[in-house]
Amino acid sequence: MNLALFDLDNTLLSGDSDFEWSQFLIEQGVLDRELFEAKNLAFYEQYKAGTLDIHEFLDFQLKPLSRHARTVLDDWHEEFMRRKVRPMMGDKARQLVAKHHAAGDVCAIVTATNSFVTAPIAREFGVAHLIATEPEQRDGEFTGNVEGIPSFREGKVLRMENWLAEHGWSWGSFDQSWFYSDSLNDLPLLDKVRYPVAVDPDDTLRKHAQKQGWTIISLR
């Protein structure tokens, strides 16, 4: 049995769904452009630099979910998928996922982006397992808070290990394991798998991958 793990933003997607969701809400007039756009860009630059305070970002990202009914959010998300997400889903990424599925590998998307944004994207890729940051819900509506450990940096490793345990697995359950990622933020999880793969990597990850002899690929 083999395990294939995929980061989502800037890996399977040729863009960042977290960033684009906020931009989408700004374009819809749901969020004030003057107040939110600069902050959204600033958080994105911090993420790329490896300096993001995940809890500060999640407060920014999840609070808007709490201001609108779930049915309204779901309608917006359908439009978001059409306008923003599907254009970022390239053939090479779809083919990579299909290759692992065809080999019978256990496939999972492991992302820092919250599950409201990412669950429909995972379904679109045909990936049944999603480990994502979980927004807290009460009676089916979002509270604006995070539930449990954010799936970010070392948190991705903790969330993965909890997920493995829930299925009665461990890292040793798999003959081979891959993790595909673009980001320096994913170094803790990349170090856990047998075959770490840098996908269109940022400069820090590229240098690390070259030093370690890791595979580097492009899905663009």
Q: Look-up: residue for tokens 């890996």?
A: 11
Q: Do 124 and 87 form a contact (C-beta atoms < 8 A)?
A: no
Position 94 confidence tier, pLDDT thresholds 50, 70, 90: very high
Tell me whether residue 9 is one of the annotated catalytic residues: yes
Q: Do 185 and 47 form a contact (C-beta atoms < 8 A)?
A: yes
Q: Can you tell me whether residue 164 is helix, strand or coil?
A: helix
Find the mean pLDDT for residues 106-110. 98
> Would you state the pLDDT for residue 200?
98
> Would you state the pLDDT for residue 55?
84
| CA atoms of 34 and 55, how far apart (whole Å) | 22
> Would you state the pLDDT for residue 54?
84
> Would you state the pLDDT for residue 37?
84
pLDDT tens digit sequence for 38-61: 888 888 899 888 898 888 888 888
Find the mean pLDDT for residues 84-93. 98
| CA atoms of 159 and 186, how far apart (whole Å) | 13
pLDDT tens digit sequence for 170-218: 999 999 999 999 999 999 999 999 999 999 999 999 999 999 999 999 9
What torsion do the CA atoms of 45, 188, 136, 163 make, to the nearest 10 degrees? 150
> Would you state the pLDDT for residue 50?
86
Q: Do 118 and 130 form a contact (C-beta atoms < 8 A)?
A: yes
User: What's the mean per-residue pLDDT of the chain?
Assistant: 95
pLDDT at position 24 over 90: yes
The first and second tokens of residue 144, run together, are 């604006």
pLDDT tens digit sequence for 62-77: 888 999 999 999 999 9
Write the DSSP assignment of 22-61 as a string of letters: HHHHHHTTSS-HHHHHHHHHHHHHHHHHT---HHHHHHHH
Select which of 7, 18, 182, 186 is catalytic: 7
> Would you state the pLDDT for residue 122?
98
Q: Lowest-pLDDT range, 6-20, 44-58, 95-109, 110-124?
A: 44-58
Q: Can you tell me whether residue 3 is helix, strand or coil?
A: strand
CATH architecture label of 2-217:
3-Layer(aba) Sandwich (3.40)
Q: Cα 214 to the chain's mean position, in Å?
A: 21
Q: Domain residues of the chain, as ranges? A: 2-217
pLDDT at position 21 over 90: yes
What torsion do the CA atoms of 8, 80, 52, 190 make, to the nearest 10 degrees? 0
